[in-house]
Chains A and B, each alone.
Chain A
Amino acid sequence: MRIAADPAKAWEMKAFKHDKILTTCKFSRCGEAVLAGSFDGMIHRWVLETGEHSIVGSHATWISAILPGPSDRLYSTDFQGNVKAWDLATSTPVWKIDAAHPGWLKTAALSPDGALLASGGRDGMVRLWSSADGKLVRELKGHGRDVYSAAFHPDGRSLATGDYDGKILHWDVSSGKLVRSLCSGLLVTRDPEFLCDVGGVRALAFDAEGKRLAASGLRDAKSNTFCPGVPAALVFNWETGKAGATLKGKDDKMDGGIIALRFLSDGTLVGCAEAQTSGAIWFWKPGETDAFHAVTGQSVYEVDLRPDGMSVAGVFFTPIGPGGNGRASKRGEYVSNGGTVRVFGLYDKPAPAKPPPKAAAPKK
């Protein structure tokens, strides 16, 4: 009998540390490894069972997204607009797109069949690429500003993309035509006192049936410096385009945005949030606005579900050495902060295996 995932039982199965900040993570399609992008431009792979670490490939700058695809393909993007495809089995490059977007490539998503890769960047453009060879399939024009998030509908025919202005656009994938715009202006704060807007639709996710679209970020930011605000998520009825009540985190003290989202198969929404001194993975039941469970720690930048739906992985910020406003640090002791991929089982933590009974002492 299949056991249903129960986030309230979340327990840490594994933790893989790195001495640089990790930006994103995904489970491999087989579920046997977890992959993570990093500030050092490397794509890291840890085998869950053994903890064995290897490097799949690298970019010249920070990794912004990694997307495992069918046939052992992995796609990666970076903060300088580049896209690369890798053969995971051999850790060798397959193709690359130089400057898919000028500057920071802020989001990428893979179609359900793995045939198309959607990318969005600071140029406000959404581009669809053939995942087979990296050729441009079509451009989608409609966003006026940075595209921060993208998600394909499970049917593969629609794409949702979210931007800095708090706008979500619904595209017809086959024609590239804009179908409609969904409003989530809640997720951007515009204040004449600020030097710039704060927020944007930082994450999008469809549920398994494609009936709901979740969007998240930060609302009611108080400045463009510390960017403190209220973490928030909205769930749209995909058919009507209307959003329900705003979802809240489990901790009122958290002041950063919800920057990644996933749905469990039972409709439970999973989101991760960052904050100045803490972070969390939160879980919401369908129809509820208050998170019913939290896994806490430092800031979390990405969450992903294991293909079997029984585990989640998150990339957590990991402080190394003194931080904050500084002057007292010494040369040689001033090192960058790090990151940790933490993997949580969403089921009862197995009881520790009993040690084998001691063999009876031989009689003298």
Chain B
Amino acid sequence: MSYACGGHDHSFSRRKMLGLLAGAAGGLLAPPVARALQSKQRQVLMIWLDGGMSQLESWDPKPGTDHGGPFRSIPSSIPGVHVSELLPYTAKRMHKLAVVRSMQTKDNSHSIGVGRMLRGDPVNRGVEYPYMGSAIAKLLDKGESGLPPYVWIKPGSSGFVAQHAGFLGGRYGALALGDGRPPTHLQAGVPAEMEQARQELRRAADARFKESRGEADVDAWEGCYDSALKLMRRKELFDEAAVSRADRERYGTHALGRHLLQARRLLEAGVLFTKVTSFHWDTHADNFAMHQELMPQIDKPFSALIDDLDERGMLDHVVVILMSEFGRTPKINGRWGRDHWPEAWSLALAGAGIQKGVVVGKTSPDGAFVDESAYDVGHLFHTVYRAVGINSAETFYKHNGQALAIAREDMEPMKGVLA
């Protein structure tokens, strides 16, 4: 049996592992942290620019240097800190962000890099670790919204993506909302009586199936159905008419703008972990013309989102992560593109538990290497977990009798990022 332990049994602190297991049902967090968080459930928004946004055309510009590209840097709202001229809106909100300019990771390919980054580059323990969304869904209390804990807004198709959960089991997978749209059945609408009859039939079939087969898959599907049912009671979250024209203009009508606006609505409704993915940032050719087109698609809606979360008081309990799987080569190739570069790149954080208005780490004058405070994705996982109130050094998954660290044991939170 590889899955059956549910609820908080998957996770426990080292102290509990040493003999306090009897008290494990109380949860994961140290009591003071738990009390502090009781008033408002911490949530996470991950914005994933798949393919790799250029750090030189965003957070860490190097104008006038060999690899700096043609664009200027502009002053930001943090005195003395400049960002690329392609981030005019975000530049004015830098005092609300923590930017890490010294990411130094391992993989220069998407196929390995994406999974490794989203799993926190765990030490190989013979299991497949969960993506951060599934991990948060497991490690944090779900809150009172009743909504799916891990929602993934992405271009393309919808569905339930159990694979993200790794060894945690399918129920912690991602509910993918293709193009931010609700599940099909939610859109169509089903009469209540008919829906109730359908669900009863499904549950009966599941129960019978469980008697003779393994429970894992059935549990995963039941979790998926339950999520859908909860969403069906919240149709207003997807009502386009409820979005103001002003918000549409502020976020933009392109996919990333619409999806970030939808993410805000889901966060407001209480979804624990929301991931927004934008594909095609892998600018191997025409990097500079492409970034002129791409950067406004994140700059403006990201700024609108930060403003909205701030105005609503949500930056006090929502952690925002903006990142890719790596950066782009300082060296410019024959088609004026930039290739993959894990050696020195940047990401941004904001919100709950995160310092405001700081830039952490430093790259070499040509932007090619990290000069100060190199951080890997394991450091990022520790940082995010701490920001949402999880003691990442003392919290472990329990799986098949072995304790598995929720973040790299040889790493710790990034210095200067946590508030």
Contacts and interface: CB of A to CB of B under 8 A. Distances in A.
A158 interface: no
Interface in B332-361: 332-337, 339-343
Given A61-B70, A337-B331, A326 B297 contact: no
Given A80-B70, A276-B285, A326-B343, A317 B334 contact: yes
Contacts of A104: 70, 288, 292
Contacts of A223: 280
Contacts of B335: 226-227, 256, 274-276, 299
Contacts of A325: 108-109, 329, 339-341
Nearest to B285: A227
Count class of interface residues, chain B? 35 or more
B280 A194 contact: yes
A104 B330 CA distance: 20
Contacts of B282: 225-226
Interface stretch (A242-250, A285-293, A327-335, A345-353): A327-335
Interface string A233-246: 00000000000000
A225 B280 contact: yes
A18 to B, nearest CB: 12
A346 to B, nearest CB: 25
B128 interface: no
B280 A21 contact: no
Contacts of A317: 334
B372 to A, nearest CB: 14
Interface residues of A, number: 47
Given A61-B63, A299-B334, A331-B369, A80 B72 contact: yes
A326 B341 contact: yes
A192 to B, nearest CB: 9
A185 B342 CA distance: 38
Interface string A194-227: 1111100000000000000000000000011111
A188 to B, nearest CB: 12
B330 A334 contact: yes
Contact of A334 (B106, B342, B368): B368
A289 to B, nearest CB: 25
Contacts of A224: 280, 283, 290, 293
A4 interface: no
Contacts of B38: none
B374 to A, nearest CB: 13
B17 interface: no
Interface string A260-275: 0000000000000011
B300 interface: no
Given A298-B334, A324-B339, A336-B331, A226 B284 contact: yes
Contact of B281 (A79, A195, A276): A195
B67 A336 contact: yes
A331 B109 contact: no
B409 interface: no
Nearest to B107: A327
Contacts of A80: 70-72
A79 B343 CA distance: 27
Given A196-B294, A323-B339, A337 B333 contact: yes
A195 B285 contact: no
A188 B66 CA distance: 31
Contact of B329 (A60, A103, A326): A326
Interface class of chain B by DSSP = loop
A122 B290 contact: no
Contacts of A274: 334-335
Contacts of A279: 334
B51 interface: yes
B366 interface: yes
B202 to A, nearest CB: 35
A340 to B, nearest CB: 12
B64 interface: yes
Binding site of A, secondary structure by majority: helix, strand, loop or mixed? loop
Given A224-B280, A224-B290, A327 B331 contact: no
Given A323-B339, A326-B343, A337 B294 contact: no
A62 interface: yes
Contact of B332 (A61, A196, A226, A337): A337
Given A326-B343, A327-B108, A60 B332 contact: no
B334 A334 contact: no
A220 to B, nearest CB: 15
A146 B292 CA distance: 11
A45 interface: no
Question: Could you say which of B109, B285, B290, B294 has the most chain A C-beta atoms within 10 Å of its C-beta?
Answer: B285
Contact of B293 (A196, A277, A298): A196
A334 B366 contact: yes
A79 B336 CA distance: 14
Contacts of A299: 334-335
Q: Taking each of A274, A319, A336, which has the highest tally of chain B beta carbons within 10 Å of its own beta carbon?
A: A336
A146 B329 CA distance: 26
B102 to A, nearest CB: 15
Which of A39, A275, A325, A334 has most B Cβ within 10 Å?
A325
Given A60-B64, A279-B334, A323-B334, 13 more contacts: A146-B289, A195-B254, A195-B281, A196-B293, A223-B280, A275-B334, A326-B329, A327-B108, A327-B341, A327-B342, A331-B364, A331-B369, A337-B332
25 contacts: A39-B332, A62-B69, A62-B70, A79-B288, A80-B72, A103-B292, A195-B255, A195-B293, A196-B290, A197-B293, A224-B280, A225-B285, A275-B334, A276-B285, A325-B109, A325-B340, A325-B341, A326-B339, A329-B343, A331-B369, A334-B330, A334-B366, A335-B66, A336-B67, A337-B333
Interface of A: 20-21, 39-40, 60-62, 78-80, 103-104, 122, 146, 193-198, 223-228, 256, 274-277, 279, 298-299, 317, 319, 323-327, 329, 331, 334-337
Interface of B: 51, 63-64, 66-67, 69-72, 85, 106, 108-109, 155, 254-256, 278-286, 288-290, 292-294, 297, 329-337, 339-343, 364, 366, 368-369
The 10 closest A-B pairs by CB, nearest first: A79-B70, A196-B293, A325-B340, A227-B285, A317-B334, A225-B282, A62-B70, A299-B334, A325-B108, A336-B66
